[in-house]
């Protein structure tokens, strides 16, 4: 289970980085267009999930 947590966390981090890259590339004349905001929101959620998974991984590893 521990290995799957770290793998999931890495996948979410990579996904968040990709969404940030897409958001930067999709900006037009201004950054306040809906596409950029949606990509940034999804990237924020992915970072949050990755941080929670890493925290859980560290707590489980510390118990052992």
Give residue-wise pLDDT tens across range 10-43.
999 999 999 999 999 988 788 889 999 999 999 9
Q: What value, to the nearest 5°, has the Cα angle with vertex 27 and ends 8 and 22?
A: 20
pLDDT band at 1 (very low <50, low <70, confident <90, very high): low
Q: Do 43 and 23 form a contact (C-beta atoms < 8 A)?
A: yes
Between the two ends of the chain, the Cα-to-Cα distance in Å is: 13
pTM: 0.86
User: Which token pair is 26?
Assistant: 């999709």
């Amino acid at each position: 289970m521990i290995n799957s947590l770290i793998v999931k966390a890495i996948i979410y981090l990579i996904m968040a980085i990709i969404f940030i890259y897409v958001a930067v590339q999709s900006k037009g004349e201004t950054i306040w267009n809906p596409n950029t905001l949606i990509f940034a929101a999804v990237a924020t959620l992915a970072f949050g999930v990755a941080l929670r998974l890493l925290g859980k991984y560290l707590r489980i590893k510390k118990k052992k």
